[in-house]
Chains A and B, each alone.
Chain A
Protein backbone atom coordinates (compact mmCIF):
# COMPACT_ATOMS: atom_id res chain seq x y z
CA UNK A 1 0.00 0.00 0.00
CA UNK A 2 2.56 2.54 1.08
CA UNK A 3 5.41 0.87 -0.72
CA UNK A 4 4.78 2.64 -4.00
CA UNK A 5 4.56 6.13 -2.55
CA UNK A 6 7.25 5.24 -0.07
CA UNK A 7 9.73 4.53 -2.82
CA UNK A 8 10.18 8.07 -3.95
CA UNK A 9 11.24 9.71 -0.71
CA UNK A 10 13.70 6.88 -0.15
CA UNK A 11 15.21 7.33 -3.55
CA UNK A 12 15.43 11.05 -3.05
CA UNK A 13 17.17 10.51 0.26
CA UNK A 14 19.70 8.19 -1.31
CA UNK A 15 20.38 10.68 -4.10
CA UNK A 16 20.74 13.50 -1.62
CA UNK A 17 23.08 11.38 0.40
CA UNK A 18 25.18 10.61 -2.64
CA UNK A 19 25.30 14.28 -3.59
CA UNK A 20 26.44 15.40 -0.17
CA UNK A 21 29.06 12.69 -0.14
CA UNK A 22 30.35 13.93 -3.47
CA UNK A 23 30.51 17.45 -2.08
CA UNK A 24 32.37 16.28 0.98
CA UNK A 25 34.91 14.58 -1.22
CA UNK A 26 35.65 17.83 -3.02
CA UNK A 27 36.11 20.17 -0.11
CA UNK A 28 37.59 19.17 3.18
CA UNK A 29 35.25 20.99 5.51
CA UNK A 30 36.74 21.70 8.91
CA UNK A 31 33.85 20.31 10.96
CA UNK A 32 34.05 17.24 13.09
CA UNK A 33 30.50 16.31 12.24
CA UNK A 34 31.03 16.41 8.49
CA UNK A 35 34.17 14.33 8.56
CA UNK A 36 32.37 11.79 10.70
CA UNK A 37 29.65 11.72 8.07
CA UNK A 38 32.14 11.09 5.30
CA UNK A 39 33.20 7.77 6.78
CA UNK A 40 29.81 6.92 8.17
CA UNK A 41 27.93 7.23 4.91
CA UNK A 42 26.26 4.19 3.44
CA UNK A 43 28.23 4.04 0.25
CA UNK A 44 30.57 1.08 -0.18
CA UNK A 45 34.14 2.47 -0.12
CA UNK A 46 35.23 0.84 -3.37
CA UNK A 47 38.34 2.98 -3.81
CA UNK A 48 39.65 2.33 -0.31
CA UNK A 49 39.38 -1.42 -0.84
CA UNK A 50 41.43 -1.16 -4.05
CA UNK A 51 44.42 0.52 -2.41
CA UNK A 52 47.48 -1.65 -1.99
CA UNK A 53 49.21 -0.09 0.98
CA UNK A 54 47.82 0.51 4.40
CA UNK A 55 48.60 4.23 4.34
CA UNK A 56 46.83 4.73 0.99
CA UNK A 57 43.83 2.73 2.17
CA UNK A 58 43.49 4.81 5.34
CA UNK A 59 43.77 7.95 3.25
CA UNK A 60 41.15 6.77 0.78
CA UNK A 61 38.77 5.72 3.51
CA UNK A 62 39.11 8.59 5.95
CA UNK A 63 41.16 11.29 4.22
CA UNK A 64 43.38 11.76 7.25
CA UNK A 65 45.95 9.97 9.37
CA UNK A 66 45.59 8.15 12.65
CA UNK A 67 47.51 8.50 15.88
CA UNK A 68 48.34 5.47 18.01
CA UNK A 69 46.28 5.24 21.16
CA UNK A 70 46.37 2.88 24.11
CA UNK A 71 42.61 3.30 24.39
CA UNK A 72 42.23 1.08 21.35
CA UNK A 73 42.63 -2.54 22.30
CA UNK A 74 43.43 -4.90 19.46
CA UNK A 75 43.04 -8.56 20.23
CA UNK A 76 44.82 -10.81 17.77
CA UNK A 77 46.86 -14.01 18.12
CA UNK A 78 50.68 -13.89 18.30
CA UNK A 79 50.85 -16.72 15.84
CA UNK A 80 48.14 -17.76 13.41
CA UNK A 81 48.48 -21.33 12.24
CA UNK A 82 46.02 -20.78 9.43
CA UNK A 83 46.24 -17.43 7.67
CA UNK A 84 42.87 -18.05 6.10
CA UNK A 85 41.04 -17.62 9.37
CA UNK A 86 42.62 -15.24 11.86
CA UNK A 87 40.31 -14.16 14.67
CA UNK A 88 40.77 -10.45 15.32
CA UNK A 89 38.79 -8.24 17.65
CA UNK A 90 38.92 -4.64 18.70
CA UNK A 91 37.42 -2.79 21.64
CA UNK A 92 37.91 0.76 22.78
CA UNK A 93 37.12 2.97 25.74
CA UNK A 94 36.89 6.02 23.48
CA UNK A 95 33.63 7.96 23.30
CA UNK A 96 31.59 8.92 20.23
CA UNK A 97 32.92 6.13 18.07
CA UNK A 98 31.48 6.23 14.55
CA UNK A 99 33.48 3.55 12.79
CA UNK A 100 36.06 0.80 13.25
CA UNK A 101 38.26 -0.51 10.43
CA UNK A 102 40.76 -3.34 10.06
CA UNK A 103 43.86 -3.28 7.89
CA UNK A 104 46.36 -6.04 7.17
CA UNK A 105 49.53 -4.29 6.01
CA UNK A 106 51.03 -7.10 3.92
CA UNK A 107 47.85 -8.26 2.18
CA UNK A 108 47.48 -7.53 -1.56
CA UNK A 109 44.89 -4.93 -0.55
CA UNK A 110 45.41 -3.61 2.95
CA UNK A 111 41.85 -2.71 3.90
CA UNK A 112 40.06 -5.81 5.13
CA UNK A 113 36.86 -4.58 6.73
CA UNK A 114 35.26 -1.37 7.85
CA UNK A 115 32.36 -1.21 10.28
CA UNK A 116 29.97 1.63 10.84
CA UNK A 117 29.08 2.08 14.50
CA UNK A 118 25.83 4.04 14.86
CA UNK A 119 24.73 5.70 18.10
CA UNK A 120 23.83 3.09 20.66
CA UNK A 121 26.11 0.39 19.27
CA UNK A 122 29.09 -0.61 21.38
CA UNK A 123 32.53 0.24 19.99
CA UNK A 124 33.58 -3.37 19.89
CA UNK A 125 33.83 -5.76 16.94
CA UNK A 126 35.11 -9.28 16.48
CA UNK A 127 35.64 -10.86 13.08
CA UNK A 128 37.87 -13.26 11.17
CA UNK A 129 40.28 -12.13 8.49
CA UNK A 130 42.57 -13.65 5.89
CA UNK A 131 46.27 -12.91 6.07
CA UNK A 132 48.61 -13.63 3.16
CA UNK A 133 51.69 -13.77 5.42
CA UNK A 134 53.16 -12.48 8.66
CA UNK A 135 52.09 -8.88 8.91
CA UNK A 136 51.09 -6.00 11.07
CA UNK A 137 47.36 -5.80 11.70
CA UNK A 138 46.10 -2.29 12.26
CA UNK A 139 42.78 -1.36 13.81
CA UNK A 140 41.53 2.16 13.36
CA UNK A 141 38.82 3.67 15.51
CA UNK A 142 37.14 6.84 14.38
CA UNK A 143 35.94 8.74 17.44
CA UNK A 144 34.62 12.29 17.54
CA UNK A 145 36.03 12.93 14.07
CA UNK A 146 39.56 11.81 14.95
CA UNK A 147 41.37 8.57 14.13
CA UNK A 148 43.07 6.35 16.68
CA UNK A 149 44.98 3.21 15.90
CA UNK A 150 46.40 0.08 17.44
CA UNK A 151 48.88 -2.21 15.73
CA UNK A 152 49.92 -5.76 16.38
CA UNK A 153 52.11 -8.17 14.45
CA UNK A 154 50.60 -11.56 13.73
CA UNK A 155 52.92 -14.33 12.59
CA UNK A 156 51.37 -16.54 9.96
CA UNK A 157 52.71 -20.04 9.43
CA UNK A 158 50.40 -20.98 6.52
CA UNK A 159 49.21 -18.13 4.29
CA UNK A 160 45.56 -17.45 3.61
CA UNK A 161 45.76 -17.18 -0.15
CA UNK A 162 44.74 -20.73 -0.95
CA UNK A 163 47.38 -23.07 -2.40
Chain B
Protein backbone atom coordinates (compact mmCIF):
# COMPACT_ATOMS: atom_id res chain seq x y z
CA UNK B 1 0.00 0.00 0.00
CA UNK B 2 1.20 3.40 -0.78
CA UNK B 3 2.30 5.40 2.22
CA UNK B 4 -0.25 7.67 3.82
CA UNK B 5 2.46 10.26 4.29
CA UNK B 6 3.67 12.67 1.67
CA UNK B 7 6.60 14.84 2.63
CA UNK B 8 8.69 17.47 1.01
CA UNK B 9 11.81 18.53 2.89
CA UNK B 10 14.05 21.12 1.28
CA UNK B 11 17.33 22.35 2.72
CA UNK B 12 18.18 25.97 2.08
CA UNK B 13 21.49 26.74 3.74
CA UNK B 14 21.23 25.63 7.35
CA UNK B 15 17.45 25.69 7.41
CA UNK B 16 15.32 22.79 6.25
CA UNK B 17 11.70 23.46 5.44
CA UNK B 18 9.34 20.52 5.83
CA UNK B 19 5.83 20.19 4.46
CA UNK B 20 3.85 17.07 5.16
CA UNK B 21 0.47 15.90 3.98
CA UNK B 22 -1.07 12.81 5.52
CA UNK B 23 -4.07 10.85 4.33
CA UNK B 24 -6.33 10.28 7.30
CA UNK B 25 -10.09 10.69 7.87
CA UNK B 26 -9.63 12.61 11.17
CA UNK B 27 -13.20 11.74 12.24
CA UNK B 28 -14.32 13.76 15.24
CA UNK B 29 -16.84 11.29 16.60
CA UNK B 30 -19.53 14.00 16.38
CA UNK B 31 -20.64 13.52 12.79
CA UNK B 32 -23.41 11.15 11.71
CA UNK B 33 -23.32 9.06 8.57
CA UNK B 34 -26.15 8.82 6.03
CA UNK B 35 -28.00 6.30 8.24
CA UNK B 36 -27.93 8.69 11.17
CA UNK B 37 -25.35 6.69 13.08
CA UNK B 38 -22.39 8.41 14.68
CA UNK B 39 -19.09 7.83 12.96
CA UNK B 40 -16.69 6.92 15.76
CA UNK B 41 -13.76 9.22 16.41
CA UNK B 42 -10.71 8.26 14.40
CA UNK B 43 -7.88 10.73 14.37
CA UNK B 44 -4.10 11.02 14.51
CA UNK B 45 -2.86 11.79 17.99
CA UNK B 46 0.89 12.00 17.60
CA UNK B 47 2.96 12.89 14.56
CA UNK B 48 6.70 12.86 14.94
CA UNK B 49 9.59 14.01 12.75
CA UNK B 50 13.08 12.71 13.46
CA UNK B 51 16.33 13.72 11.83
CA UNK B 52 19.80 12.42 12.68
CA UNK B 53 18.50 10.57 15.72
CA UNK B 54 16.77 13.59 17.22
CA UNK B 55 13.14 14.65 17.35
CA UNK B 56 12.87 17.85 15.38
CA UNK B 57 9.11 18.32 15.60
CA UNK B 58 6.33 16.59 17.51
CA UNK B 59 2.65 17.29 16.93
CA UNK B 60 -0.09 16.31 19.37
CA UNK B 61 -3.38 16.48 17.56
CA UNK B 62 -7.01 16.46 18.56
CA UNK B 63 -10.09 15.97 16.44
CA UNK B 64 -10.11 19.60 15.29
CA UNK B 65 -7.27 19.05 12.85
CA UNK B 66 -8.63 18.91 9.31
CA UNK B 67 -9.11 15.73 7.32
CA UNK B 68 -5.96 14.76 5.41
CA UNK B 69 -3.87 16.98 7.67
CA UNK B 70 -1.17 19.32 6.48
CA UNK B 71 1.63 20.77 8.53
CA UNK B 72 4.63 22.93 7.78
CA UNK B 73 7.66 23.80 9.89
CA UNK B 74 11.42 24.43 9.58
CA UNK B 75 14.42 23.34 11.52
CA UNK B 76 18.17 23.85 11.61
CA UNK B 77 21.08 21.46 11.57
CA UNK B 78 20.31 19.13 8.66
CA UNK B 79 21.76 19.08 5.19
CA UNK B 80 20.82 17.80 1.77
CA UNK B 81 20.74 14.00 1.66
CA UNK B 82 19.96 13.54 5.36
CA UNK B 83 17.09 11.24 6.24
CA UNK B 84 13.94 12.62 7.80
CA UNK B 85 11.81 9.99 9.48
CA UNK B 86 8.10 10.67 9.88
CA UNK B 87 5.71 8.57 11.92
CA UNK B 88 2.18 8.91 13.22
CA UNK B 89 -0.14 6.98 15.52
CA UNK B 90 -3.89 7.38 15.80
CA UNK B 91 -6.44 6.80 18.57
CA UNK B 92 -7.32 3.34 17.23
CA UNK B 93 -3.74 2.13 17.35
CA UNK B 94 -3.12 2.66 13.64
CA UNK B 95 0.23 3.99 12.55
CA UNK B 96 2.45 4.66 9.59
CA UNK B 97 6.08 5.53 9.06
CA UNK B 98 8.07 6.81 6.15
CA UNK B 99 11.52 8.19 5.52
CA UNK B 100 12.21 11.09 3.21
CA UNK B 101 15.51 12.38 1.87
CA UNK B 102 16.10 16.05 2.42
CA UNK B 103 16.49 17.67 -0.98
Name A residues whose Cβ lies closer than 8 Å to a Cβ of B: 42, 44-45, 49, 84-86, 89, 104, 107-109, 111-118, 120-122, 124-131, 160-163
Can you list 29 contacts pairing A with B, beta carbon distance less than 8 Å?
A: A45-B60, A108-B28, A109-B63, A111-B64, A112-B62, A113-B59, A113-B60, A113-B64, A116-B60, A118-B55, A118-B57, A118-B58, A120-B56, A121-B56, A121-B75, A122-B15, A122-B76, A125-B71, A125-B72, A126-B70, A126-B72, A127-B59, A127-B66, A127-B71, A128-B65, A130-B26, A130-B65, A161-B30, A162-B31
Give every chain A residue within 8 A of B70 (Cβ-Cβ).
126-128
Measured between alpha carbons, how far is A109 from B61 in the docked complex, in Å? 12
Measured between alpha carbons, how far is A163 from B39 in the docked complex, in Å? 12
Q: How far is the CB of A100 from chain B (nearest CB, A)?
A: 9
Count class of interface residues, chain B: 20 to 34
Name B residues whose Cβ lies closer than 8 Å to a Cβ of A: 15, 26, 28, 30-32, 45-46, 54-67, 69-77
Which chain A residue lies CB-closest to B39? A162
Measured between alpha carbons, how far is A45 from B46 in the docked complex, in Å? 10
Q: How far is the CB of A107 from chain B (nearest CB, A)?
A: 5
Q: What total count of A-B pairs have CB within 8 Å?
A: 104
Of B56, B59, B65, B75, which one neighbours A129 at CB under 8 angstroms? B65
The SS class assigned to the B binding surface is strand
Give every chain A residue within 8 A of B56 (Cβ-Cβ).
118, 120-121
B65 and A84 contact, CB distance less than 8 A: no
B65 and A122 contact, CB distance less than 8 A: no
Measured between alpha carbons, how far is A114 from B77 in the docked complex, in Å? 23
Which chain A residue lies CB-closest to B43? A49
Q: How far is the CB of B9 from chain A (nearest CB, A)?
A: 13
Measured between alpha carbons, how far is A42 from B54 in the docked complex, in Å? 13
Given A44-B45, A161-B30; A116-B58 close (CB under 8 Å): yes
A122 and B75 contact, CB distance less than 8 A: yes
Q: How far is the CB of B39 from chain A (nearest CB, A)?
A: 8
Of A45, A120, A130, which one neighbours B77 at CB under 8 angstroms? A120
Measured between alpha carbons, how far is A115 from B58 in the docked complex, in Å? 6
Measured between alpha carbons, how far is A121 from B64 in the docked complex, in Å? 24
A115 and B66 contact, CB distance less than 8 A: no
Give every chain B residue within 8 A of A162 (Cβ-Cβ).
30-32
Given A128-B65, A130-B66; A114-B59 close (CB under 8 Å): yes
Measured between alpha carbons, how far is A104 from B64 in the docked complex, in Å? 8
Which chain A residue lies CB-closest to B55? A118
